[in-house]
Chain A
Amino acid sequence: MSLELIDGINKIHELLSTNIEAAWVVSLIEYVLVGLGFLTLYALIALFLIIFERKICAYFQCRKGPNRVGPWGIFQVFADMVKILIKEIIPLKHNDKLLYYAAPFIVIMGSLLTFGGLQFADGVHGVDFNVGVFYLLAVSSISIIGVMLAGWSSNNKYSLIGAMRSGAQVISFELSACLSMMAVVILGGSMNLSELMAAQNDVWFIFQSPFTVVALVIYLIAAHAETNRGPFDLPEAESELTAGYHVEYSGITFGFFYVGEYCNLFINAAIGTLVFLGGWQALHIPGCEGFNQVMDAIPSYIWMFGKTLVLIFLSLWVRWTFPRLRIDQLLKLEWKIMLPFSLANILLMAIWVVVTNN
């Protein structure tokens, strides 16, 4: 598929170049096409995840979930999207207008920029810097600024408490996510995602060292906490804070936070897949030629999205199973358990890499 896609892109480029004289017009049209492609994929993934979560959650609770609009209720999410787009945006009296309307921009910006740094299939990727992993970590933490702004500018006590909790939680778990990815960077010897993918051609990183398994477990917990979900959903705890930082947002301005949250779920799972589980690489067992060829027959985008969906399902499973923690338990989990573990894991990983390489 990926090769066909690249061929298709080249054909579009030729078609444009032959019909339009000015080179800058061709570039502009291509930029717009690429931008719209990213935006469409982003929105479709958000819509898919919303219906996916509603169905999964329903079956965990022995319900059917949405089942009226379309087969299995799959069009429910499109109906909801149109509804939220034309809902009233309630004008508030006492808020800080500039920061209040800037917050959704920053949340979506952080989320979409991270999305642009992912790899979706063999050769299909957007931003591919030499500091790839670092870039993903850096831009994914922009969103929290939007959350803090939303909470502060709403001039609402629920929002303020929710934003403060969210800030403390996200920046704390950011550390563990960062350090667990560093373990993989030590093993792979590069921060560039394409090079990390190439290093996982034969064996995924998860099978290359016992310490990447520890790193993956730490990463999954940290990434789950970063999305403000499941047992870590203190910022939005319905029973105490109603909705947390976005309680004052209405209509589509709320919708952006909602979309951002679901896309962050996908993005975190996708980063975990790319860095630990081989991304779009097929499952290979060294020495088993026949098995490897069968696995190679499956297209790379199916591997990528399949593995990502498994991680997302794991996240949903945790979310709908465990009861909520308290904020002190949450921060204790990060600072007293996960942080020492991930520091020790890095050191052990470095020793392991040095010993096995010499």
Chain B
Amino acid sequence: MSSYEIFVIVFIMALVMVLGGSVIGLLRSPKSTNDQKGEQYESGIPTRGTSWMQFKVGYYLIAILFLMFDVEAVLLFPWAVIVKGMGVEGLYAVSFFLVVLILGLAYAWRKGALEWK
């Protein structure tokens, strides 16, 4: 049995687990309704307006920074596998990449993108 087959099996099993659990829950659980029950929970007071609204820009900045470093990590992984065999050349090659990256982090730091405002 190859890894790809097991991958597909596990994937399907995840769907089966949630689907099966939900079906059992829906079939076996008691049901009752009233006007208040389907309202959003806001610690007991009536809901004010919708919750689909603007949120803090800080989260957006974090996501942008994450994108930069995550792509960097993807690029560094192949290098990490072969650096042992490459020797000093591997270090030279990646040091330029890392310097640019660290400059980027330093720029974001200096500009205050890492501060929570």
Contacts and interface: CB of A to CB of B under 8 A. Distances in A.
Interface of A: 30-31, 34-36, 38-39, 42, 85-95, 101, 104-105, 108-109, 111-113, 115-116, 126-129, 131, 134, 152, 154-161, 164-165, 167-168, 171-172, 174-175, 178-179, 182, 185-187, 189-191, 242, 247-248, 251-253, 255-256, 327-328, 331-332, 335-336, 339-340, 343, 346-347, 350-351, 353-354, 357-358
Given A93-B38, A94-B40, A164 B56 contact: yes
Contact of B63 (A159, A171, A332, A354): A171
14 contacts: A38-B13, A85-B24, A91-B37, A93-B39, A112-B17, A113-B7, A179-B73, A191-B81, A248-B40, A253-B22, A343-B101, A354-B83, A354-B91, A358-B88
Given A34-B9, A90-B37, A112-B14, A190 B81 contact: yes
Interface of B: 1, 3, 5-7, 9-19, 21-22, 24-26, 28-33, 37-43, 50-52, 55-56, 58-59, 62-63, 65-66, 69-70, 73, 76-77, 80-85, 87-88, 90-91, 94-95, 98, 101-102, 105, 109, 114-116
A30 B51 contact: no
B22 A186 contact: no
Contacts of B116: 327-328, 331-332
B6 A127 contact: yes
B3 A127 contact: yes
Given A168-B59, A189-B81, A86 B29 contact: yes
Contacts of A129: 3
A85 B21 contact: yes
Nearest to A111: B14
Contact of A38 (B9, B33, B101, B102): B9
A145 to B, nearest CB: 13
A157 B51 contact: yes
A91 B33 CA distance: 8
A35 B11 CA distance: 9
Contacts of A179: 73
Given A85-B21, A85-B28, A91 B41 contact: no
Contacts of A252: 21-22, 24-25
Contacts of A155: 40, 50-52
Nearest to A153: B52
Contacts of B50: 94, 155
Contacts of B69: 175, 339
Contacts of A128: 3
Nearest to A184: B80
Contacts of A87: 25, 29
